[in-house]
Amino acid sequence: MKKFEKLWIQTQKTITRFFVACLLVVLVLNVLTPVNKTSEMENRGLAQRPNFNWTTLRDGSFFKNYQTFESDQFVGRNSWIHLNYLIQKVSGVRKIQDVYLCHDQLMEEMPEPNQTQLKRNIQAINDFANAHKDINMQMVLAPNAISVQSDRLPAFADVKDQESEMNQITKDLSIQSVDVNSALKKHKDEYIYYKSDHHWTSLGAYYAAHAINSNIQLNQYDKREVSNSFQGTLASKVGSINIKDEVDIYTPKKTCNYLVTYNSSNKQTRSIYNSKAFHQRDVYQVFFGGNEGMINISINNNSDKHLLLIKDSYANSLVQFLLPYYRTITIIDPRYYYDDLDQQMNKDIITNVLFVYNTNTFVQDTSLADCLGY
């Protein structure tokens, strides 16, 4: 019996030494590992080492910020995040944060609408349209994957009816609504939404473009794959590294020369595509390099139409199909635009206005009414 007790005590000591050694190794690695500014996997900035002074020590903010710093800079953080994702998925968890874990796809949950701001935005659009009765206006309210491809959701997933939500919004709008919902549902089994990201793919954007203008045909464009390893915002949020996407771009077969001007920097380029994004984690930035307050595109063609595109990021991949059909396209992202919109419309001789938003964004948007000036 004493021999067994002695063996048990020795085993406990060995286990304790092992864990203490592991803690020391991790501590040393955390000290020696360089501080990272960003996390490509999570697609966000990481907390930096906080400044130590009597003020931060007295109010307790130093220790709070240092805890956040240690959490963000913990050695092997990405591996631990991915391990947590795998454990939860294997254990039957169907949703992490606001992301559903489908078989081979991630889907963003529908958020609760900001009803006050939603009503304000709808009224602002109606007032804007009433003030510009001579201009043709359309709304593209895009459904999200969770609505179009709901059959891919985990069993017993309790989700709201986004289609009813969309129908109520379009009913309250005084401008024409383009039915992209029906167009996308006809092709729900195709690759129209990214598996790791909340955006639609270029193919999904094409079906929306065709719903806007039936003259837009897929055979008018050449397809080029620019990445087959895209991991989007949803993958970053849950820690998945295995779900990857293909990103395609489409260029008109018929020569289409144009000039793109970025308002914030006055940079000019002959392409809407940002080749640097081919090798970045967020490959969706291949379209314009991301979001910008205002972008002007001047196209060398005989069209007499001048488009004002008021949008969220879903429209970034839609523009590639619109290029041949307008003389100019003025792209406004209300989140980053602070100038006089009416003045810009007069300057650009706008003949058509197109609103493009995905529904999840539109029901929570807080920028549109202010941008329209109503």
| Residues 195-227: tens digit of each pLDDT | 999 999 999 999 999 999 999 999 999 999 999
Section 109-117 average pLDDT: 96
Structure tokens at 104: 């081979």
Tell me how far apart the alpha carbons of residues 359 and 159 are, in angstroms, rounded to a whole number.
14
Regarding whether 144 and 230 lie in a shared domain, the answer is yes
Tell me how far apart the alpha carbons of residues 164 and 219 are, in angstroms, rounded to a whole number.
33
Is there a domain that residue 264 lies in?
yes
In DSSP terms, 221 is beta-bridged to 252
Amino acid at 68: T
Place 263 in a pLDDT band, splitting at 50, 70 and 90: very high
Selection from 330, 334, 336, 237 nearest residue 282 by Cα? 237
Q: What are phi and psi of 373, to 5 degrees?
A: 90, 25
Regarding whether 214 and 122 lie in a shared domain, the answer is yes
Please check the confidence at residue 35 and state whether its pLDDT lies above 60: no
Tell me how far apart the alpha carbons of residues 100 and 94 are, in angstroms, rounded to a whole number.
6
Report CA dihedral (334, 338, 343, 346) to the nearest 10 degrees.
Answer: -30
Is there a domain that residue 107 lies in?
no
Question: Count of domains in the chain?
Answer: 2
Looking at residue 41, its pLDDT comes to 47
Looking at residue 17, its pLDDT comes to 63
Place 13 in a pLDDT band, splitting at 50, 70 and 90: low
Regarding whether 176 and 66 lie in a shared domain, the answer is no
Structure tokens at 243: 């779900």
Regarding whether 121 and 93 lie in a shared domain, the answer is no
Regarding whether 147 and 59 lie in a shared domain, the answer is no
Structure tokens at 81: 């995040």
Section 340-345 average pLDDT: 96
| Residues 273-287: tens digit of each pLDDT | 999 998 888 999 999
Average pLDDT, the chain: 86
Please check the confidence at residue 65 and state whether its pLDDT lies above 80: no
Last residue of a domain, one of 46, 78, 101: 101
Is there a domain that residue 175 lies in?
yes
Is there a domain that residue 108 lies in?
no
Regarding whether 83 and 10 lie in a shared domain, the answer is yes
Last residue of a domain, one of 47, 79, 101: 101
Section 253-275 average pLDDT: 95
Give the list of residues 6+ apart from residue 374 with CB closer than 8 angstroms, or none.
123, 124, 127, 128
Selection from 291, 285, 284, 296 nearest residue 334 by Cα? 291
Regarding whether 135 and 97 lie in a shared domain, the answer is no
Exposure b/e, 278-313, CB count within 10 A at least 16 = b:
eebbbbbbbbbbebbbbbbbbbebeeeebbbbbbbb
Among 37-51, 179-193, 248-262, which stretch is predicted with the lowest mean pLDDT?
37-51
Looking at residue 79, its pLDDT comes to 55
Last residue of a domain, one of 101, 132, 162: 101
Please check the confidence at residue 257 and state whether its pLDDT lies above 90: yes
Is there a domain that residue 118 lies in?
yes
* Residue 348 CB neighbour total at 10 angstroms: 17
Is there a domain that residue 106 lies in?
no
Place 87 in a pLDDT band, splitting at 50, 70 and 90: low
Q: In what order do the strands lie in the sheet with 99-101?
A: 95-96, 99-101, 106-108
Regarding whether 337 and 244 lie in a shared domain, the answer is yes
Regarding whether 280 and 241 lie in a shared domain, the answer is yes
Is there a domain that residue 67 lies in?
yes
Regarding whether 361 and 271 lie in a shared domain, the answer is yes
Is there a domain that residue 167 lies in?
yes
Looking at residue 111, its pLDDT comes to 94
Domain span at residue 57 reads 2-101
Regarding whether 286 and 183 lie in a shared domain, the answer is yes
Regarding whether 283 and 160 lie in a shared domain, the answer is yes
Radius of gyration of the CA atoms of the chain, in A: 25
| Residues 143-177: tens digit of each pLDDT | 999 999 999 999 888 899 999 999 999 999 999 99
| Residues 279-322: tens digit of each pLDDT | 888 999 999 998 999 999 999 999 999 999 999 999 999 999 99
Contact 311, 331 (CB under 8 A): yes
Looking at residue 75, its pLDDT comes to 47
